[in-house]
Structure 1
Amino acid sequence: MRACLTTALIALSLTPGVAAAQTSAGDWLIRVRGIVVSPTETSGEVSGIPGSRVGVTASVMPEVDFTYMATDHIGAELIVATTRHEATGRGSLSAIDTVASTWVLPPTLTLQYHLSPKSKIRPYVGAGVNYTLFYAEDASDGLEAALGSTKVRMSDSVGYALQAGIDLDIGPRTFLNLDVKYLDIDTTARLVTGVGTSRVRISIDPVVIGAGIGMRF
């Protein structure tokens, strides 16, 4: 029985469909992931509204990333995705379930270290920078019912990014990917009404969990 199992394992290791991708210098890795963006947010007080706070909802979206391997172990990855989030009322704003909504575009560049580039299971860690743009901001009907006609503007953000993940071969050039990132994202939201402008500082700081498939070129 042991001999048969050993023979099967040897045969499996020699099967072209499960050969190690063996990432090397000069390779491009392209991954498509589904991601969950889960903010770990904190906020200050909305100016002019004592006791007020805001929260930020999670979002699920697709993501695409591109990695260039400068050496067998060192790669640079550009991550591109956009997600929609809602700001929710807390504290004295808790009666307003949704305060505003916005789309977020945080292109992120990380420098990665790949621990075992010639193995079928290849973990990596990375660190880098993200530049986050907020667009299509929109005040909710509930906010406008409370404050009147309101325009919402959110400042862009520059922050650091931390990353850890693993690639698992399913073919000579294809692999599964699991990835976790932490993004440092801070913004100031401005609520512009007919009687003035209120501001609130929000640290969004999401954990981004992704799973998907990749190809090596």
Structure 2
Amino acid sequence: MHKLLKSISLVALAAGMAAPSVQADAGDWLVRLRAIHVAPSESAEISAIGGDASIDTATVPELDISYFLTDKVAVELILATTKHSPVAIDTAAGDVPLGSVRLLPPTLNFQYHPMAGEKFSPYFGAGINYTMFYDQDATGDVVTQIDYDNSFGFSLQAGADIEINDKWFFNADVKKLWLGTDVSINNGAINADVDINPWIIGVGFGRRF
């Protein structure tokens, strides 16, 4: 994880040294499309059978829309959805597949761009997300019904925009989300308090309007 973050930073810095000046003014809209890798840092407390949770990673597209309130402060809405196949591990019943579920965690971040107008324009953000769990499918022999509660969480973000021309730019971005859910299995026979807390690493391109 640390090597990947370092590599992204070095690529962004090298591109920024050769890029023209990044300009951002109050009222600007920025739309970015990234490829993101979602890596959960999961843990769980599971009633009745004990154990922990294991959640697979996912790589998906992400769309975000930013609006500059001033030349250094922006608000950003982030949209992406992922599909996961969680497993309850090390339980009294062994490893128990929990089917599959999709997550939609729209996230609203406030960003500070301290070097707006420079060739390489980093930013830092913080905000909230609301995670919706849908398309839940319990297909195992042990788990015949499963339900995930929607929940609020928090986010931190760091990234950089490097301008290609006056409209287009390259983007690298890292986010940490704190999100969790209460899970009911087999109509409440088993309950779990699950923390997902993913790292989200993305690269892509954006356009200024």
Task: Give the TM-score of the pair, scaled to structure 1.
Answer: 0.83
What is the aligned partner in structure 2 of residue 138 from structure 1? 137
Aligned twin of 2:193: 201
Residues 127 and 156, structure 2, Cα contact 8 Å, conserved in 1: yes
Counterpart AA for 2:177 = L
Task: Give the match for residue 25 of structure 1.
Answer: 26
1:21·1:173 contact (CA, 8 Å) conserved in 2?
A: no
Question: Distance in 1 between the 2:176 and 2:20 partners?
Answer: 32
Map 1:38-187 onto structure 2 (within 5 A). Answer: 38-45=39-46, 47-49=47-49, 51-92=50-91, 93-96=93-96, 98-141=97-140, 145-146=141-142, 150-187=144-181
Structure 2 unaligned segments of length 5 or more: list them.
1-18
With normalisation by structure 2, the TM-score equals 0.86
Instruction: Name 2:9's counterpart in structure 1.
Output: none
2: CA distance, partners of 1:165 / 1:200: 34
Name the CA shift for 1:94/1:60 in 2 (closer, same or farther; >3 Å). farther
Name the SS for the 1:44 alignment partner.
strand
Q: Percent identity?
A: 39
Residue identity in the other structure for 2:182? T
Do the aligned residues in 1 keep the contact of 2:79 with 2:107 (CA within 8 Å)? yes
Q: Show structure 1 runs of 5+ residues with no match.
A: 1-17
Deviates more, 1:121-130 or 1:18-27: 18-27
3-state DSSP class of the match of 2:117? coil
Deviation >6 Å, runs of 4+: none
User: 1:188 — aligned with what?
Assistant: 182
CA distance in 2, matches of 1:34, 1:164: 16
Q: Is this contact kept in 2: 1:21–1:174, CA < 8 A?
A: no
Size of the alignment, in residue pairs?
Answer: 191
